[in-house]
Homo-oligomer: A and B are copies of this chain.
């Protein structure tokens, strides 16, 4: 079973996953993406038996679970980093803290076809993916042991072993450190100003335009003032709202449209570049709702982070976000 261990200096949790057990011989070469094709792909329609049983799918009426007929399908990870069953078993190991890695780790298969991507999918398909995220998170949220829910997508060569479009759903029994840091920053600003920090950022970016990529009445896309990476983007709803999974139904197609605009612009400007996106929603408790504002981070993986970044926690970005925003703003998409 994977174990969560706490770094006593940085108070950061690490998942030690011996099930993914890697011995020195497994690292003889720097890892490269596995070659995979539709014939051997466990995520393709018709190959449902190659995966664990689905936890949710949107499928044609009358088709059975784990058979063809679906358009979005959610399954547990084959080698999960977090396990839904069992006791958390918090324990001290000498001066150190550890617990069982309780939680949920699932994969959202974003389309039955091997070559569909967020950029080339139909608007309807993107909307269905967002529906699936929302519906699955709402279900997971009913379990009080999960403190935080997250959607993560790793797209492109080197970031994922499988090229068939998919994303991850992660539910954790602790609030991850990075989220704690966001909460802390937002809470402090709220106490001082009685306003949501992210609301204020959105207003400023919408007004100043220099880092604006796109906006409509409901959503905004901009390159953050202190972007850590070239062409980093943030998407947020314009009105204050803490929980992605509680997004109003009428907003689902609007958000799907905005997300697809961002990813199409990126794909047109930097064809084939790998990227991550992460949907940050408030932790499950209601106590953060006044000052946390759900948002999406899109991080193209164009630069390598090296010792300086790891060692210092600050980043070097060779592309000013104003230049990145201008280039992204001017991209025409189909």
Q: Whole-angstrom distance between the alpha carbons of A231 and B22 in the complex?
A: 10
Q: Whole-angstrom distance between the alpha carbons of A238 and B221 in the complex?
A: 51
> Is the pair B5, A319 in contact by a Cβ cutoff of 8 Å?
no
Q: Does A18 contact B (CB under 8 A)?
A: yes
> Is the pair A312, B27 in contact by a Cβ cutoff of 8 Å?
no
> Is the pair B30, A302 in contact by a Cβ cutoff of 8 Å?
yes
A27 CB contact (under 8 Å) in B153, B230, B311: B230
B-side contacts of A307, CB under 8 Å = 152-154, 159, 168, 276-278, 299
List 13 interface pairs A-B (beta carbons < 8 Å), by A numbering: A14-B227, A14-B315, A21-B323, A24-B231, A24-B270, A27-B230, A30-B157, A30-B301, A31-B302, A150-B312, A152-B308, A158-B304, A177-B313
Q: Whole-angstrom distance between the alpha carbons of A66 and B186 in the complex?
A: 51
Q: Whole-angstrom distance between the alpha carbons of A57 and B155 in the complex?
A: 46
* Chain A contact residues: helix, strand, loop or mixed: mixed
A96 CB contact (under 8 Å) in B8, B178, B226: B226
| Given A14-B226, A172-B312, 20 further pairs, Cβ under 8 A | A7-B224, A8-B185, A8-B197, A9-B182, A12-B313, A13-B314, A15-B316, A21-B320, A23-B323, A27-B230, A30-B274, A154-B308, A168-B307, A176-B312, A177-B312, A178-B310, A178-B311, A278-B307, A297-B310, A299-B310
Q: Does A17 contact B (CB under 8 A)?
A: yes
B-side contacts of A28, CB under 8 Å = 270
What total of chain A residues lie within 8 Å of the partner, measured CB to CB?
A: 94
Q: Does A317 contact B (CB under 8 A)?
A: yes
CB-CB contacts below 8 Å: A208-267 with B:
208, 224-228, 230-231
Q: Whole-angstrom distance between the alpha carbons of A307 and B170 in the complex?
A: 11
> Is the pair B182, A308 in contact by a Cβ cutoff of 8 Å?
no
Identify which of A170, A224, A308 gathers the most chain B CB atoms within 10 Å of its CB.
A308
Q: Whole-angstrom distance between the alpha carbons of A11 and B180 in the complex?
A: 12
Q: Which of A107-115, A116-124, A198-206 contacts B (4 or more CB under 8 A)?
A: A198-206
> Is the pair A170, B308 in contact by a Cβ cutoff of 8 Å?
yes
B-side contacts of A10, CB under 8 Å = 178, 181-182, 185
> Is the pair B154, A306 in contact by a Cβ cutoff of 8 Å?
yes
Asked whether A96 and B318 contact (CB < 8 A) given A30-B158, A299-B310, A308-B168, the answer is no
Q: Does A333 contact B (CB under 8 A)?
A: no
Q: Does A93 contact B (CB under 8 A)?
A: yes
Query: For residue A153, which residue of chain B has the nearest CB?
Result: B307
> Is the pair A311, B30 in contact by a Cβ cutoff of 8 Å?
no
A218 → chain B, closest Cβ, in Å?
Answer: 21
B-side contacts of A303, CB under 8 Å = 31
Q: Whole-angstrom distance between the alpha carbons of A216 and B23 in the complex?
A: 27
A282 → chain B, closest Cβ, in Å?
Answer: 13
A21 CB contact (under 8 Å) in B11, B81, B201, B319: B319
Identify which of A228, A269, A314 gathers the most chain B CB atoms within 10 Å of its CB.
A314
A179 CB contact (under 8 Å) in B5, B178, B312: B312
